[in-house]
A and B are shown apart, each in its own frame.
Chain A
Amino acid sequence: MVSLFIPCTVDLLMPEIGTAACELLEHLGEQPVYHQDQTCCGQPLFNVGYRDQARRVAKHFIEVFGRDERIVSPSGSCVSMVKHHYPELLSHEPSWYGRARELAGRVFELSQYIVDVLGVTDVGAAFDGSVTYHESCHVLRSLGVSDQPKKLIGAVRGARYVELNNATACCGFGGEFAVGFPEISQALVKDKATNFLNTGADVLLLCEPGCLLNINGYLHRNHPEKKAMHLASFLAGNMKEA
């Protein structure tokens, strides 16, 4: 049984990513469940420094997801929050810490789940065009997920993969950072967008809703003809009818 962990940014602003993740999993023979009691993993609170509050949210999450065999999310940073920061946050409460540690091993980023757990690289998608991939910080450096999305992209029939210059560089999102340091954030997202435009690729793929809000927000304002896309949306949207 696989349980969908839908980040709040996806739930509120980009629900089509959640739908795509769900479709992908169903297409691969899974029957995902969605707990309606889920809200947000508390990452924004934790990053700004509200630890007591984040702790309460972590406990809520553990209550909601605690009995699931496998938990899958289309967000590297939210998975990293649960996997790495929940145990740290709850380290002074032994029973909660135990539950957090035990939960950590069952949480997966979506592409990681499809490739590593389900053992699938070809989901049966086809795309006539060129694509490139942005290595989101938390997906790459916190979870070590990089080959998995590239394998999924590589198996899309017809898609030509173009290497993105400085693919592992931060896009300048950083949650609170983008709002608090807009000039620096702008300089970073501009570089990312420029590198994308220079590839000439039709679409920039990534596995992180935060980066997607940032990069697409910038593209929409400055280069409305171009767009970034969550890998889940890309794969689900280009799947041939079974």
Chain B
Amino acid sequence: MEAHTDRFKVTAGRELKNELSQIFLSLLPPGFTILRQIGMSSFPDPESAVEQARAIRAEVIERMPELLEEFERNAVSRGARVLWARDAREANDIILDIARQRGITYATKGKSMITEEIGLNEHLIRNGVDAYETDLGEVITQLLELPPFHIVGPAINVPPEEISAVFLKKGIIKEPTTNPIELGKAVRVYLREKFRHLEMGIVGVNMAVAATGTIVNVENEGNIRMTKSSPKTLVAVMSLEKVVPTMADAVHMVRILCRNCTGQKMSSYVSMDTGPRKQGEVDGPEELFIVIVDNGRSEIYRDRETRDVLRCIRCGGCLNTCPVYAKIGGYPYGFAYSGPMGQVLNPLLLGIEETSDLYRACTLCGACRQICPAGVDHPSLLLTYRAREVSRKGKDRKVEKSLAALVTLGISRAWIWNLGVRIMRPLFRRLAQNGNITDMPLGLKGWFTCRDLPDMPARTFHERWIDRRDAPLPERQRKKEV
């Protein structure tokens, strides 16, 4: 998908003023977080359950290459065809070719972040193969041509009036209605027609089990199961990190994923497919293609400093706990992935240069790291990207770099520091009124949009300490009051 990460500040500013977004954001993240807590408390020992999940993800990222090969062997032995795609273009072309070779005019799709990342829908549609999203939220965002507001609930912020209007326009409903049940029913009827004549289905993968070659999908609407079981040809698209060692690991990760995602102990549907329909079986696709997409991940994997990004299981827990996401929603991040998981992943997929706002728009509060069931340390990764940006850029940060050099010199030698204090104080004093500064020129302006700053006091702590030490003994008692 096309990236708009360079418009972060503009879009964030717009969303902060969007009343509807603000209402949803004041309810959703806290709501999800409460549901998550309720869900997690159903584990006999929630902390151990998270530890186990983190350990599974740690093993995955240690053994990823061999696990992927094992998965391929087992999937192939059960009749699946495994195709490797180096990047988005290769993946899109592989899937388009599969459709073309079979004379397919349309495909239905299960919700999948990797297909959003590579822009599969756009590619298929541009080349004459219609791609219909079947997850309710994805149907709405596709029709409205909106990016996802939340990785789990992409259209969760769209009001019924807007849904009604676009459904009416596309002929999904005949009469306008804002009744969610009627809107949902209309989509079911509309999609059922697509499933009835379906030749090709495309789904993502939540877990790919290395030991068995099974693909596991988690969903709540039954649309993925329909997409998997209706067509002759099924294409499952996965990124490298979806692999897990064993079925037991997959099952634990499903339990963790559902609880962290929507607070459910188990989603309404979990489907596990091992190869296509075999002789004597009554349903399932006749052929199964599994497209394993790299799209920059090998490089992320090779780099020890960034590898941990691949732990992510896309539960969305970090979005719901992030103070910044809770104010601006998913649009400003400008790509398929938003919130903390997007802030750590997008810069690696799109480049450090184009995504500066993503890794700087963070207070380093650590709420995401604390909640992450996969063991991603988001703040450390963001700090790494910041350091890489600083060390890469030459001219762009010239003033800042000179300032940093000056500050470093001052910090490393106390006498320069104290000299600096003596130079700064009159400058501060000039700006202050009644002991407070309400505005400052240059780079610090942002502070003063809503805040004041105290003036520098007559004596720093350092000077107070010297005053105290030098004072005669009775005086020293008095100075204690300072």
Contacts and interface: CB of A to CB of B under 8 A. Distances in A.
A and B: real partners?
yes
Interface of A: 6, 10-16, 18-19, 23, 34, 36-40, 42, 44-53, 56-57, 60, 137-138, 141-142, 168-170, 172-174, 176-190, 213-214, 216-218, 220-222
Contacts of A23: 480
Contact of B386 (A47, A174, A178): A47
A2 to B, nearest CB: 15
Interface string B388-414: 111100000000100011011011111
Interface string B315-348: 0000000011001100000000000000000000
B446 A178 contact: yes
A141 B451 contact: no
Tell which of A16, A38, A183 has the most Cβ of chain B within 10 Å: A183
Tell which of B364, B387, B449 has the most Cβ of chain A within 10 Å: B364
B436 interface: yes
A221 B438 contact: yes
Closest 4 pairs between A and B when the two form their complex, measured CB to CB: A174-B363, A217-B451, A49-B386, A182-B446
A178 B447 contact: yes
Given A39-B414, A53-B404, A183-B13, A214 B457 contact: no
A172 B363 contact: yes
A36 B323 contact: no
23 contacts: A11-B460, A14-B454, A15-B457, A15-B461, A15-B464, A38-B414, A39-B411, A48-B390, A48-B404, A49-B390, A53-B405, A60-B412, A169-B323, A172-B363, A174-B362, A177-B362, A179-B445, A184-B327, A185-B446, A185-B450, A187-B16, A189-B451, A213-B454
Interface of B: 9, 12-13, 16, 323-324, 327-328, 360-367, 369-370, 383, 386-391, 400, 404-405, 407-408, 410-414, 417, 421, 424, 436, 438, 443-447, 449-454, 456-457, 459-462, 464-466, 480, 482
A170 B369 CA distance: 14
A221 B459 contact: no
A64 to B, nearest CB: 8
B364 A137 contact: yes
Given A19-B464, A36-B466, A172-B363, 14 more contacts: A11-B461, A12-B460, A47-B383, A49-B389, A141-B370, A170-B363, A176-B360, A181-B361, A183-B12, A183-B449, A185-B450, A186-B449, A188-B327, A220-B436
Given A172-B323, A188-B323, A177 B361 contact: yes
B254 to A, nearest CB: 28
Contacts of A213: 453-454
A33 B212 CA distance: 64
Contact of B446 (A12, A38, A40, A180): A180
Contacts of B364: 47, 137, 174, 177
B432 to A, nearest CB: 11
Nearest to B380: A88
A186 B450 contact: yes
Contacts of B369: 141
Nearest to B447: A179
B361 A57 contact: no
Nearest to B458: A15
A196 to B, nearest CB: 15
Contacts of B410: 39
Contacts of A190: 450
Nearest to A221: B452
A124 to B, nearest CB: 16
A40 B411 contact: yes
A107 to B, nearest CB: 18
B449 A182 contact: yes
A221 to B, nearest CB: 5
Contacts, number: 181
Given A141-B365, A182-B449, A12 B456 contact: yes
A184 B459 contact: no
Given A49-B387, A49-B389, A57 B12 contact: no
Contact of B16 (A46, A184, A216, A218): A184
Nearest to A6: B461
Given A169-B323, A213-B453, A221-B438, A19 B461 contact: yes
A169 B324 CA distance: 11
Contacts of A19: 461, 464, 482
Tell which of B360, B421, B424 has the most Cβ of chain A within 10 Å: B360
A57 B408 contact: yes
A45 B363 contact: no
Contacts of A141: 365-367, 369-370
A6 to B, nearest CB: 5
Nearest to B449: A182
A213 B366 CA distance: 20
Contact of A189 (B390, B424, B450, B466): B450
Contact of A12 (B327, B362, B421, B465): B421
B365 A137 contact: yes
A221 B328 contact: no
B465 A36 contact: yes
A177 B363 contact: yes
Nearest to A172: B363
Nearest to B328: A184
Nearest to B463: A15
B451 A218 contact: yes
A11 B383 CA distance: 26
A220 B450 CA distance: 10
Contacts of B362: 174, 177
Nearest to B322: A170
Contacts of A178: 446-447, 451
Contacts of A6: 461-462
A142 B383 CA distance: 15
Contact of B324 (A48, A138, A184, A220): A184
Nearest to A181: B361
Contacts of A18: 461, 464
B330 to A, nearest CB: 14
A138 B436 CA distance: 27
Tell which of B365, B408, B457 has the most Cβ of chain A within 10 Å: B365
Nearest to B364: A174
A186 B460 CA distance: 28
A143 to B, nearest CB: 11
A96 to B, nearest CB: 14
Contacts of A214: 451
Given A47-B383, A49-B383, A174-B362, A221 B450 contact: yes
Contacts of A47: 364, 383, 386
A19 B388 CA distance: 39
